Amino acid sequence: MWRFVHYFIIIACVITTFLIYNSGKGAIPFLILSAYFFILAYVEIYKIKNSK
Protein backbone atom coordinates (compact mmCIF):
# COMPACT_ATOMS: atom_id res chain seq x y z
CA MET A 1 0.00 0.00 0.00
CA TRP A 2 2.77 2.43 0.90
CA ARG A 3 4.46 1.84 -2.47
CA PHE A 4 1.18 2.68 -4.23
CA VAL A 5 1.06 6.01 -2.38
CA HIS A 6 4.61 6.83 -3.51
CA TYR A 7 3.78 5.92 -7.10
CA PHE A 8 0.66 8.09 -6.99
CA ILE A 9 2.59 11.06 -5.59
CA ILE A 10 5.33 10.70 -8.21
CA ILE A 11 2.79 10.46 -11.04
CA ALA A 12 0.94 13.51 -9.68
CA CYS A 13 4.23 15.44 -9.45
CA VAL A 14 5.20 14.50 -13.00
CA ILE A 15 1.82 15.58 -14.37
CA THR A 16 2.02 18.82 -12.38
CA THR A 17 5.56 19.34 -13.68
CA PHE A 18 4.44 19.05 -17.30
CA LEU A 19 1.47 21.38 -16.77
CA ILE A 20 3.41 24.06 -14.90
CA TYR A 21 6.48 23.86 -17.14
CA ASN A 22 4.40 24.15 -20.31
CA SER A 23 2.67 27.23 -18.93
CA GLY A 24 6.05 28.98 -18.82
CA LYS A 25 6.89 28.95 -15.12
CA GLY A 26 10.48 27.77 -15.64
CA ALA A 27 12.22 25.73 -12.94
CA ILE A 28 9.40 25.79 -10.35
CA PRO A 29 8.14 22.28 -11.21
CA PHE A 30 11.63 20.83 -10.86
CA LEU A 31 11.84 22.43 -7.43
CA ILE A 32 8.62 20.62 -6.48
CA LEU A 33 10.02 17.27 -7.63
CA SER A 34 13.35 17.82 -5.91
CA ALA A 35 11.60 18.72 -2.64
CA TYR A 36 9.61 15.48 -2.73
CA PHE A 37 12.71 13.38 -3.49
CA PHE A 38 14.66 15.18 -0.74
CA ILE A 39 11.94 14.41 1.82
CA LEU A 40 11.77 10.80 0.65
CA ALA A 41 15.55 10.39 0.96
CA TYR A 42 15.58 12.06 4.38
CA VAL A 43 12.94 9.65 5.70
CA GLU A 44 14.87 6.65 4.39
CA ILE A 45 18.16 7.86 5.90
CA TYR A 46 16.40 8.54 9.21
CA LYS A 47 15.03 4.97 9.24
CA ILE A 48 18.47 3.51 8.52
CA LYS A 49 20.11 5.70 11.15
CA ASN A 50 17.64 4.70 13.88
CA SER A 51 17.72 0.99 13.05
CA LYS A 52 21.35 0.64 14.15
- Asked if 32 contacts 17 with a C-beta cutoff of 8 angstroms, the reply is yes
List, as one string, the DSSP characters of 6-47: HHHHHHHHHHHHHHHHHTT-TTHHHHHHHHHHHHHHHHHHHH
pLDDT at residue 50 tops 90: no
Instruction: Check residue 45 and give its pLDDT.
Output: 92
DSSP symbol at 2: H
Instruction: Check residue 19 and give its pLDDT.
Output: 87
- Per-residue pLDDT reduced to its tens digit, 10-46: 898 888 888 888 888 878 878 888 888 899 899 989 9
